[in-house]
Amino acid sequence: MTGEAAGEAAGAREAAGEVAVRVENLRKSFGAAEVLGGIDLEVREGEFVALLGPSGTGKTTLLRVLAGLERPDGGTVLTAPRRTTVYQEPRLAVARRVLANVVLGLPRSARAAGRRALAEVGLAGYERAWPATLSGGEAQRVALARALVRDPQVLLLDEPFAALDALTRLQAQDLVAELCARHRPAVVLVTHDVDEAVRLADRVLVLRDGTFATDLAVGLPRPRDRDDPVAVEHRRFLLSRLGVAPVSAAPAT
């Protein structure tokens, strides 16, 4: 690592121009275990990248580096300055009402934008509700509004739908697709759900053994048809790259 990069707060410097995220040869170990072994990643403004990989492969570590929460051991990390993360859990402050959660840490003047963000995620009228009264899907939409109101150039999503039931998950995916199409942040979505990656992303990367084993351009129009033969083929390909054997058709008799 260069001394210059090491001197930056948590190693992240500002990316310029149309590239919102640029990572070169990123290395990160915990003790003797190398988690990221020379990652290269470029995400352009408005691009939606999904990051697949089995549990423990370093997906969260990579997001934390991009968020500036974790310092890399080596390599270059450049990101646009306005970054925000949505996690698997909504992480709401239970002693604050919904609107106060959305604008937490922002000046009072942000409350109008906070109300607009709540309306955008379908929660107009919930401003004064307490987090404990929300369903899991609603709480996660509050977390999305909290991200939205910060107008992120880089939106980092760490398995944001993983704790939701199947139907709520599909609705939340549609909402995120719509919000991203409208606001055009650069998105890095971590997921272990191949369907979700093919449904949402422009590009799907598979993280294996510390590097990207696959970089697949999805290239399907939106809204996406789950049964499009290309989508089916993408899912099959990604599952094979994840080391999951394809389910065979009815056995020959």
Q: Which residues bind ligand ADP (CB under 6 A)?
A: 30, 35, 53, 55-61
**Nearest residue to the partner Mg ion, using Cβ:** 60
Binding at 53: pick from Mg ion, ligand ADP, none (beta carbon under 5-8 Å per type): ligand ADP
- 3-class SS of residue 22: strand
d(CA 173, CA 161): 8
Binding at 35: pick from ligand ADP, Mg ion, none (beta carbon under 5-8 Å per type): ligand ADP
- Measured from the Cβ of residue 16, the count of other Cβ atoms closer than 10 Å reads 10
**Minimum CB distance to Mg ion, residue 192 (Å):** 9
Residues 6 or more apart whose CB falls under 8 angstroms from that of 9 comprise: 68
d(CA 246, CA 248): 6
Closer CB to ligand ADP, residue 40 or residue 178?
40
Closer CB to ligand ADP, residue 119 or residue 163?
163
Closer CB to ligand ADP, residue 77 or residue 121?
77
Closer CB to ligand ADP, residue 35 or residue 172?
35
**Minimum CB distance to ligand ADP, residue 43 (Å):** 18
d(CA 198, CA 195): 5
d(CA 74, CA 12): 11
> Binder to Mg ion among 57, 60, 79, 140 (CB under 5 A)?
60
Angle at CA 172, nearest 5°, toward 170 and 177? Answer: 95
